[in-house]
Amino acid sequence: MHSRIAGTGRYLPARVLTNDDLARQGVDTTDEWVRTRTGIRQRHVVADDEMASDLALAASRQALAAAGIAAADVDLIIVATTTPDMIFPSTACILQDKLGAHGGPAFDVQAVCSGFVYGLAIADGMVRSGAVRNALVAGAEIYSRILDWSDRKTCVLFGDGAGAVVLVPSREPGVLATRLHADGSHHAMLCVPGQVRDGAVVGSPYVHMDGQAVFKFAVRVLTEVADETLAAAALPRSAIDWLIPHQANLRIMDATARRLDIPPERVVVTVDRHANTSAASIPLALDEAVRDGRIRPGQHVMMLGVGGGFTWGSALVRWG
């Protein structure tokens, strides 16, 4: 028994903020600086009444429609998010309610920007083992609420959005191999250190990051985990038809692709239009490349995540 991705979906909030908009709103930056350092041109930002579960709901409905599965028939629900609706219960339980599904397991995965590949790997294992009939894995994030908009080193990098996939059992292998890793000794390199204590936030509730350290770390581990995953599937680098790295920064993606000998035209890039949407970034890019016809049956898609923790991981999929 294997699992395969039967449908994908995505959602980006209506409000768009360009780099120039940020500069006009008082962020000490320029469009030229942000574009040349990161490839980012704009980001989407939620409305006041939108929550992560709303973003996940819109993406999930598209993924379920593409898979031909009714919302009420969804079994396992995993939401990868760093920006949950509330401290508890999980955003996955709130999504389950909004979908009108009941009874299957539902939980959140907190692996920051690697959350989607973590969720996909867990769901793959549960579908393959027969523990669940199918699985909905969504990445949904509202980073605009955890950014210090006066810190130009971080606020220009992130955005809001959601993506989702539906996994079903399959005789033919769809998900070929997954690999997950973490090294908690780097937890301070990228973090939101604040906590809620006695009714107040103690410590900073905003993203803190050592940008250059993150850059070097990300390129190294993304390359390593891609090779490790190819070895597990007994495939060469040249078998990768589409590389979908975490959409953090165009320069990280370019450097990773170069090290893996993958030409730029085989890398799916959406970061220019939605910035770094953390756990949502890989399913957002996947859905775009599936719906515009780039990803075709029989092709190999390598998804690579990296993020706070530090965490990193992969999912190698044969499409179809």
Ligand X SMILES: CC(C)(COP(=O)(O)OP(=O)(O)OC[C@H]1O[C@@H](n2cnc3c(N)ncnc32)[C@H](O)[C@@H]1OP(=O)(O)O)[C@@H](O)C(=O)NCCC(=O)NCCS
Given candidates 24, 47, 73, 153, which one binds ligand X under the rule CB under 6 A? 153
Residue pair 164/56 in contact (Cβ under 8 Å)? The answer is yes
Q: Is residue 102 among the annotated active site residues?
A: no
User: In this chain, which stretch among 3-11, 131-139, 150-158, 196-204 interacts with ligand X, using CB under 6 A?
Assistant: 150-158
Q: Residue 27's Cα: distance from chain center in Å?
A: 26
Is residue 38 part of the contact set for ligand X (CB under 6 A)?
A: yes
- Decide: is 152 part of the binding site for ligand X (CB under 6 A): yes
Smallest gap, in angstroms, from Cβ of residue 112 to ligand X?
7
Binding mask 47-86 for ligand X (x = CB under 6 A): ----------------------------------------
DSSP E strands, the chain:
2-11, 15-18, 42-45, 76-80, 106-109, 135-142, 160-170, 175-182, 190-191, 195-197, 200-202, 208-209, 242-245, 300-307, 311-318
Catalytic, 191? Answer no
Cis peptide before 245 (omega within 30 of 0): no
Binding to ligand X by residue 113, rule CB under 6 A? yes
Asked whether position 269 contacts ligand X by CB under 6 A, the answer is no
The CA dihedral of 249, 253, 256, 262, to the nearest 10 degrees, is: -170
Angle at 171 between CA 168 and CA 176, to 5 degrees: 75
> 246 an active-site residue?
yes
Amino acid at 276: N
Residues making up the chain, counted from first to last: 320
In the set 19, 93, 113, 274, the catalytic residue is 113
Specify the residue, 310 or 319, whose C-beta has the smaller distance to ligand X: 310
Q: What string of DSSP letters covers 241-253?
A: SEEEE-SS-HHHH
Q: Please, which of residues 115-144 interact with ligand X by CB under 6 A? A: none
Nearer to ligand X, 5 or 157 (CB): 157
- Does 214 contact ligand X by CB under 6 A? yes
* Residue with nearest beta carbon to ligand X: 211
DSSP letter at 205 equals: -
Instruction: Using the minimum distance from each CB to ligand X, give the nearer residue, 83 or 249.
Output: 249
Contacts to ligand X by CB under 6 A: 29, 33-34, 37-38, 113, 152-153, 156-157, 209, 211-212, 214-215, 218, 248-249, 252, 276, 306-307
